[in-house]
Structure 1
Amino acid sequence: MPITGPAGPPAPGRESRGRTRQQRRNRRSGAFDLLAIVAALTLVGLGLANLHLIGATELAARQGVIAAGGVLALMVFWRVRARYLRVLGWAAYGAAVLLLVGVLTVGLSANGATRWIAIGSFTFQPSELAKLGLLLVLATVLGSGRPAWQRFTAAVLLSVVPIGLTVLQPDLSTTTLLAVLAGTMLVIGRVPARFLLPLAAAVVISAPLMISLLRPYQLVRLGSFLVGAHESPTGSGWAVRQAHIAVGSGGLFGRTDDPLRGLRAQYLPERETDLALASLVGQWGLVAGAAAVLAAIILVWRLALASRVPRTPHGALVGGGLAVLLGVETVVSVGANLGLLPLAGVPFPLLSYGGTALVVHLAAIGVVLAVRRDGARRRLWALPSWRNPRPRLIRLAALGVSVLLIAFGVYGWRLQSTRGEALQAVGDEQMTRCFRLPAARGSITDRHDAPLAVNAVDVGGGVDQVVVVPALVRTRPADIDRLAGLTGRPVEDLAAQIGAAEGTTLSLPVADVPRDVGTAVTAAGIPGVFVLPEPRRWYPQGALLGPVLGFVGVATPEDEARWPGLPSGEIVGRAGLEQQYDAVLRGINGQQCVYVDPTGVPVALGERRDPVPGADLRLSIDLGLQQRLDAGLAAAVRAQPRPRNRIGAAVAMDPRSGQVLAIASTPSFDNNVYGPPIDTGALQALAEAPGSPLLEHVTQAVAPPGSTFKLVVAAANQAHPVFAPHRAIPTGASFTYGGHTFGNWKPMGPMDLVESIAISNDVYFYKLAVALGAEAIIDTARALGVGAPTGLDLPGESAGHLGTPESAEAEGGTWYGGSTVILGIGQGDLQVTPLQNARWTAAVATGSTVTPRLGMAIGTEGATYTALPAPAATPVPFAAELGPVREGMRRAVTAGTATRLADLPVPVGAKTGTAQDGGLPEGEYDNWISAVAPMDAPEIVLTAMVQGPGTGGNSARNVVADGLRHYLDHRPEVLGTGPVQAP
């Protein structure tokens, strides 16, 4: 159609106004070009900065050279006239298709895909060229004046070829982008909906079939995104997790002053390509990331607006198509970096490393700018708008891209502000590995600080272990030479051992040395070399307190359940006081941390936390009294006719506080057999030895108490009076009840309660038991602690057994009248420990029950000890009525069965007992004695039990007599202790 106008030349003013408008348009066009180029170069510059910051200097240099070539291509294509776009498009499309075919035959493969062609050291990805070629040919076809069905058919056929070839590689990310580009061009090219809707339906129907084309790693990526597994610290979500850490911990301006910045960068996979944006934020902060996103938004908008300027539909579609393509790439890349979209292998345009993509994108921008420039310069010859319809929905698409990117930016800011500290902690944790610096175990001493359990190395009996971090030491031969000289090892052997260690080894033992050598190694301060004390325990008193002190060893599953959080291989108390006070004695382990790279190889020393030694435990035991009691007990057992299977036990306790002054058990064992190293032969012998030497007999062995239980029965009479304490009761040689006759240990006349306690008159207590009844005796026994653990701070204490009519019935038996009779003399359904016996003796003497205690105070070297809290004494309800019982105990010493104690320098009260025990041979008994001194103001209760005939000097009486004499002769020394402050 010819262009018509008014006849004659235009008026001068009119012509001048036209030239002015054209100049303004040209200036606006120049400004547009400058802004778009600045945005593109900003992205390129940020990408180069990212490569430099992560230490990829060679890649940065290579990308810089390629970027220069890309800028040159942009400038060249900027000068291309619009009429040459068709030729350029068909040339790019044809070259891309040929190269895609070539990739399938001679291409390079990686990660299960063949995508590159190599020419020498230069590699090229044809699928990137296919984007530009497809964009230009589709713009040519869809911008032509052909009928709609022809344009649609040609566009689809042209799109299928590169899409199909990329599917075969398989390069599904590029395939998807090509498909999006083709669909976008059909939409903005104003193809009628009657053609687009069937195509869209076919795509939706066939989409599930595309899953079969996914590689296993792609399926895992998709599954991880759908189920949220990207939060897992390992597996397919690793990349997204690392991206979150980088974005969340980058701060506003990055952490360029962080000395570990380079190491942190190594943990982000694909930091040059797919996750370049996350890497940039991690290095230079959220501001740099926002600058990249803003530059991308500006570029998309300028390209979108460029589609409204060209004078031909062909040129307009080039600008619109590239705007949508760059927008989609940016949205997918940013979303994947934030974990909001699956990782699809789509790099950030112009920012991510990749020479082919960089050159193609810059060249494509040059083409669009050329179209804009050409349209602006030749605006006067443009076709009317009804003959040159603009692409549809371009501004809406640009707006959608902008909104999404802004929303993603807000998400990134919230991720940093709400989870930044937590993500930074996760990042620090993942690159940190620590090994334990064991804390020195606290000592156990007697009340005068005499050592009972100490660390072997502290007394010259142990060794220090020298360990190294191989990866940090093997590169420093001079330090290896120094270490070899200090430890006395040949340099060649030491170097070979360190060199042969796996790179991920955190601590490698290289020498066991005496303490003075260990101190010298520590003083040398060789980086990566550490000295650890050997966790060996030494018990200087041998078997004297074996079952009481217990032993230490590697924690068992039961120990780990008792003390949650124990590190693997931790040395803990396994028995006795070592176990009871393990939390106090063990201390707090330190740790030496090292920073490792993503493969686990140490690269630098990290934080060190020195161990806190365990506290020392001061016991209430007096070592001198303990030795005296143990020697007397062992002599008494050895003097028995058949001592091999016999046991003995003795305990001395302060009846006012419950402090245990001595606790002896025979046979016993030497704790040192538990090592390390463990003496397996000795342990096996102990396990098979008669007399159960591994058992602590004062608290874990039970036996019938015999006549010592008469104190409990007598106390029951005072609590539930049936016989007046000074009323004489006929007794004799036996007592018949319910058709059964129960004998006395010798014929006796009428006696009252006091005399019956002193002489241990069985018949009196038979009759008293019947008169009281089982319920009154059992009630009083429970009040005095019979049938229940005493609460001693020692694990494994037995509760003993106090039978009742109810328990007999529950066990399928019967409580007969005779059961009550023999309970009166401490026989029958009754088993007690020596400590329980001592406790009720103390309760009768003082009127209060106490909780026995071994632990007295804790403290550290050079510090005042702090007393351990102990339960207060509990008055017994019938304390005021116990005078006659105490009188009987005193009479037993002055004129009864305990006269062996009469020559002691203070008044003593006692009760003896000889109990039949079904576990002993005929003629042998459990021989008991429990004594209190001074009787008028009790300071000590001493109870002993020795198995055997119990005659002459072999009974328990000698053990108690010798123990009391030692105490009374050394009372100030026994009771004295170091300064202790209140708990």
Structure 2
Amino acid sequence: MRLVEHVHSLRHIGGLMDWPQLRSRASPARIRREPRTGRLAGGTAHGRHLDIPAVTAALVVVGIGVANLWAVDGAGLAVRQALFAVVGLALLAVLGRSRLRLLTALGWGCYGLALVCLVAVRFAGTSANGATRWIGVGALTFQPSELAKLGLLLVLARVLGSAQYPWWRRFALALLLALLPITLTLAQPDLSTCSLLVALSVAMLVLGRVPARFLLPLLAAAAVAAPLVVGLLRPYQLTRLGSFVVGSHQSASDAGWAVTQARIAVGASRLIGHGDDLTELRALYLPERHTDLAAASVVEQFGLLAGAAVVVAALVLVWRLVLAARAARDTQGALVASGLAVLLGVEAVVSLGGNLGLLPLAGVPFPLLSYGGTALVVHLSALGVVVGLRRDGIRRRLWVQTSWRARRPRWARVVALSITALLVGFGSYGGYLRATDGPVLAAAGTDQMSRCFRLPALRGEITDRHGTPVAASADDGRARVVAVPALTRADPAAAARLASLTGQPTAAVRAALETAPAGVLAVPVADVAAPVAAAVSRAAISGVTVVPAPRRSYPAGTALGPLLGFTGTATPAEQRRWPRLPTGEVVGRSGLEQQYDAVLRGIDGQQCVYVNPVGQPVATGPHTDPTPGANLRLSLDLGLQRVLDTSLAQAMRGQPRRSGAAVAIDPRTGQVLALSSVPNYDANVYGPPVDNAALSKLATAAGSPMREHTAQSAVPPGSTFKLVVSTANQLHPKLPPGLAVPTGASYTLGGHTFNNWRPMGPMNLPQALAWSNDVYFYKLATLLGPDAMIDTARALGVGQRTGIDLPSESPGYLGTPASVRADGGTWYPGSTVILGIGQGYLTTTPLQVARWTAAVATGRLVTPRVGLASGTGNAWTALPDPSAAQLPFAGALGPIRDGLRAAVTDGTAGRLADLPVAVGAKTGTAQDGSLPADSYDNWITAVAPIQDPSLVVTVLTQGPGQGENNPGPVAHDLLAYYLAHQSEIHDSSPVQQP
């Protein structure tokens, strides 16, 4: 009788075999009963059929999910999710005790209710993020599309597991049943759930062994229609897809940015527990940490092992469901179990892959882990259904070998193995990501939530060659007190304490904090003296920092203004030169301050604060002290410099619209020992504080005081160029140096007469140089022609920058017949004639004249240098020093040196004759079209001692050239001082070679 009851029950729930089939297969001999209980074989106590591993795995995932919600958002969402979990577990327990005969009714009930609710959503749904997916019932919300998953799973299992109808009818009905919830879900729009319903439907068709003649056309049609789905994507979905393809992560609204945050969460995690003290703040940067990125959030909050536990629990669920499918007593139950395995596995794979950036972020929550009451209840209920099926199958297993075993779900274990491989692979990638990129990702996470303001570095000193400062950052102890408004306002007593310490009115301090512009990290509160700054620092008021405020000072005043330059806030030009300059950085703007800015500037410190994702400061971050810049030692001797400045200023007295320049270099090394420019300026006017009145006056002053005339002003060199023409004669002999050539008062060529500065008799080359005989050089220039003079001039550096370590050096101008024609001019024969005396298509800087004088005196072409060494304390390293170039014609320059010496002993430079060593010199006067008619460019260039040169002095004064305006006394004073203090000048502390 009991066997008949079992078979009768099976017949009524629509099993695979009808009564005659079952009766024909029955074998009474297979019947046996258990001792005492009378249960069939395999029937045991209820607890043994609860599927403890599956339920335990579900509880593990649910528990970790609730703990994650508690960690990232407190008790609110966690308690809510826990309540839903209780409801879901209660349904799991109830459904776990149900019989198979209830499955059909449950499936159609869930399916019908889901359809009704999906339709109701269209008219009375709740919207969020551009989609209407929920129905609100008081304080609760319900998502019908989640119930549709369970309903569709059960009805497809019922239809596909029934043998009462032919395949084409079952296939058509299954498609119709799937199409209804899919269409309604797509209309919400909820593409992620829609995709899961499609995946579930396809999986059920495959698992249900639908013949290939039905499946293949369907799959082909789906492949053809797949590109059309792109047109259905919402903008945010297109963004997610594009972010995955191109790796975009530019803004917080970018899906790629969300994946980056997930990767940071994984990379910055530990094996167990919080990654560091910043985990709580870092969690705020993880969007969708309750839903789509819950897996990454779990790893961030509880460690990599917690994430591994979730993955393992998901795998346990998948495999227990697959095993339940094998234990089910008919095809319908087996399809329910295997279909749920596929659904949970796909959700886990897509969610975990999206969290790690291995798949597009599709908006699929991790099953049982992510926040969502409806999804949690539905998943637990579905698990309860399978538990009931497994229990019912074991309790009512027949003594016959039924034919349904040949029709088990197709590829269920293959799909489970694939899901296992993917989840294990993705989980392993998470561990690999943490191991290899963890420090980089953690640093990126810290960087994105840090905002810092500068603590300016003390700029290095500039000294002369003996260590006397000529530019210094005067650290007089004054400092600026700044506050981060958001942090300081958080302490009600902070404003009053700060006001008391700084001597400010409390109302003023509060106003500064309250009215700070949006986006400004720190605001100045007060500029204070050293004792006050120290007291504020000791008070450790939240968000308050003391920022040093050193002032750049120039003790030499106007003496070295154009050479040293000045500092100031970086302009757009400096920003382009140094792209990484922070806003408001103080840099060298001209002169040596600009040239050696990278050496002098140092490295700014910073005070950082941590901000939340909306940029609101929430905590004080790390503090980095600034690193002072290195000091710069110059080749200048300050004593020699003062003599030169005084003497040149005297020579230029009474010449308000003219300029003067003088330079003294060591011809052996190119080191500049003194350099002066008139008019000049005092760089202290640039402050801080800036002297606006003085700057306005400088901008309109005559004589270009902002220009360093020695290297930046090019004028006709006059007769100093005769040294170059004489050298050309030695390279291209036309007149023997010892040959006396008739000269006179003038020279006529082609009907044009060129006058001498006074009538003279026959002279050879040294004599012509000594007396600067113009007619001699007219004739010599005519014989040489322009090419020989120009080639020699180039060999001596004329018409090109000397390479001195100063910005904006002028190259001067050396015209050629070709270049003049190219500029639309004409090179006449007379152009060649006047080139012989340094006029015409020719301009040079005083530095170029000094350079070729040194070359003639030593036979070596040097590169002038002002920077000597850099370093801190007593450790100095020599700056790179270009080596001098040996002139190939050095041996032919003797007659020219004789001329230099003769100019002092019996020529135009006689005022240098009383110096204690033999000096050579060349004077010159040039007409300059930029000057009034009574003014000239007046030159002298001298070398001492002439036999073994150690100093070359070149002086240019603009004006009448008479009396005090004559450059000769300037050179005399400088040479006299140098010769009297030569050993002291060249004595400087040793430096280490670079």
> What TM-score do you get using the length of structure 1 for normalisation?
0.90
Q: Aligned equivalents of 1:83 and 1:367: distance in 2?
A: 12
Counterpart of 2:261 in structure 1 is 242
Q: Aligned equivalents of 2:875 and 2:246: distance in 1?
A: 59
CA gap of 1:698–1:71, structure 2 versus 1, over 3 A, is same
Aligned AA (2:380): L
Count of residues in correspondence between the two structures? 974
Q: Aligned equivalents of 1:266 and 1:439: distance in 2?
A: 34
Secondary structure of residue in 2 paired with 1:645: coil
Secondary structure of residue in 2 paired with 1:734: strand
Aligned counterpart for 1:221 among listed residues 235, 240, 243: 240
Contact residue 33 and residue 40 of structure 2 kept, 8 A = no
Superposed, which structure 2 residues align to 1:422-571 within 5 Å? Answer: 422-455=440-473, 457-458=474-475, 463-501=478-516, 505-534=520-549, 536-571=551-586
Q: Aligned equivalents of 1:869 and 1:152: distance in 2?
A: 85
Q: Aligned equivalents of 1:982 and 1:195: distance in 2?
A: 85
1:204 deviates by: 5.6
Counterpart of 1:960 in structure 2 is 971
1:914 aligns with 2:925: yes
Aligned AA (1:924): S
Give the unaligned 5+ runs of structure 1: none
CA gap of 1:179–1:659, structure 2 versus 1, over 3 A, is closer
Q: Aligned equivalents of 1:216 and 1:6: distance in 2?
A: 60
Aligned counterpart for 2:367 among listed residues 346, 349, 352: 349
1:581 deviates by: 1.0
Secondary structure of residue in 1 paired with 2:957: strand
Q: Aligned equivalents of 1:881 and 1:219: distance in 2?
A: 81
CA gap of 1:230–1:735, structure 2 versus 1, over 3 A, is closer
Q: Aligned equivalents of 1:754 and 1:168: distance in 2?
A: 104
Counterpart of 2:879 in structure 1 is 868
Which segment drifts farther, 736-745 or 67-76?
Answer: 736-745
CA gap of 1:750–1:285, structure 2 versus 1, over 3 A, is same
Superposed, which structure 2 residues align to 1:27-426 within 5 Å? Answer: 30=48, 33-54=51-72, 56-144=74-162, 146-148=164-166, 151-152=170-171, 154-189=173-208, 211=230, 213-229=232-248, 235-250=254-269, 253-254=271-272, 256=274, 258-380=276-398, 384-385=402-403, 389-426=407-444
Root-mean-square deviation (CA, aligned residues, Å) is 3.5
1:655 aligns with 2:670: no
CA gap of 1:306–1:444, structure 2 versus 1, over 3 A, is same
Aligned counterpart for 2:754 among listed residues 721, 733, 742: 742
Counterpart of 2:612 in structure 1 is 597
Superposed, which structure 2 residues align to 1:814-829 within 5 Å? Answer: 814-829=826-841
Q: Aligned equivalents of 2:27 and 2:358: distance in 1?
A: 65
1:896 aligns with 2:915: no
1:764 deviates by: 2.8
Aligned AA (2:721): F
Counterpart of 1:757 in structure 2 is 769
1:836 deviates by: 1.8
Secondary structure of residue in 2 paired with 1:931: strand
Aligned AA (2:966): S
Q: State percent identity of aligned pairs.
A: 61
Q: Aligned equivalents of 1:164 and 1:422: distance in 2?
A: 45
Q: What CA deviation, in whole Å up to 9, does each residue of 1:930-983 have, x standing for no partner?
A: 223333443332221222222234322222223333334444554444554444
Q: Aligned equivalents of 1:351 and 1:845: distance in 2?
A: 88
Secondary structure of residue in 2 paired with 1:785: coil
Which segment drifts farther, 68-77 or 190-199?
Answer: 190-199
Contact residue 457 and residue 605 of structure 2 kept, 8 A = yes
Q: Aligned equivalents of 1:337 and 1:16: distance in 2?
A: 51
Secondary structure of residue in 1 paired with 2:475: helix
Aligned counterpart for 1:852 among listed residues 835, 857, 864: 864
Q: Aligned equivalents of 2:681 and 2:807: distance in 1?
A: 17
Aligned AA (2:643): R
1:676 deviates by: 4.6
> What TM-score do you get using the length of structure 2 for normalisation?
0.89
1:584 deviates by: 0.9
Q: Aligned equivalents of 1:61 and 1:819: distance in 2?
A: 99
Aligned AA (1:166): T
Superposed, which structure 2 residues align to 1:751-830 within 5 Å? Answer: 751-830=763-842
Which segment drifts farther, 827-836 or 760-769?
Answer: 760-769
CA gap of 1:929–1:343, structure 2 versus 1, over 3 A, is closer
Secondary structure of residue in 1 paired with 2:661: strand
Q: What CA deviation, in whole Å up to 9, does each residue of 1:649-689 have, x standing for no partner?
A: 22222333322222222222332343455555544543433
Contact residue 29 and residue 376 of structure 1 kept, 8 A = no
Contact residue 267 and residue 437 of structure 2 kept, 8 A = yes
CA gap of 1:106–1:913, structure 2 versus 1, over 3 A, is same
CA gap of 1:978–1:195, structure 2 versus 1, over 3 A, is closer
Give the unaligned 5+ runs of structure 2: 1-18
1:885 aligns with 2:896: yes
Q: Aligned equivalents of 2:476 and 2:653: distance in 1?
A: 34
Contact residue 29 and residue 372 of structure 1 kept, 8 A = no
Secondary structure of residue in 1 paired with 2:939: strand
Contact residue 857 and residue 867 of structure 1 kept, 8 A = yes
Counterpart of 2:949 in structure 1 is 938
CA gap of 1:321–1:928, structure 2 versus 1, over 3 A, is closer
Aligned AA (2:584): G
Secondary structure of residue in 1 paired with 2:949: coil
Contact residue 49 and residue 390 of structure 2 kept, 8 A = no
1:384 deviates by: 3.3
Aligned counterpart for 1:608 among listed residues 619, 623, 630: 623
Counterpart of 1:702 in structure 2 is 714
Aligned AA (1:914): T
Q: Aligned equivalents of 1:746 and 1:337: distance in 2?
A: 94
CA gap of 1:304–1:813, structure 2 versus 1, over 3 A, is same
Q: Aligned equivalents of 1:550 and 1:6: distance in 2?
A: 108
Q: Aligned equivalents of 1:375 and 1:832: distance in 2?
A: 106
Q: What CA deviation, in whole Å up to 9, does each residue of 1:230-264 have, x standing for no partner?
A: 6988623222222233334435x245251112222
Contact residue 267 and residue 433 of structure 2 kept, 8 A = yes
Q: Aligned equivalents of 1:939 and 1:665: distance in 2?
A: 22
Aligned counterpart for 2:702 among listed residues 681, 690, 694: 690
1:577 aligns with 2:596: no
Q: Aligned equivalents of 1:745 and 1:961: distance in 2?
A: 24
Aligned AA (2:197): L
Q: Aligned equivalents of 2:228 and 2:35: distance in 1?
A: 62
CA gap of 1:366–1:962, structure 2 versus 1, over 3 A, is same
Q: Aligned equivalents of 1:618 and 1:742: distance in 2?
A: 49
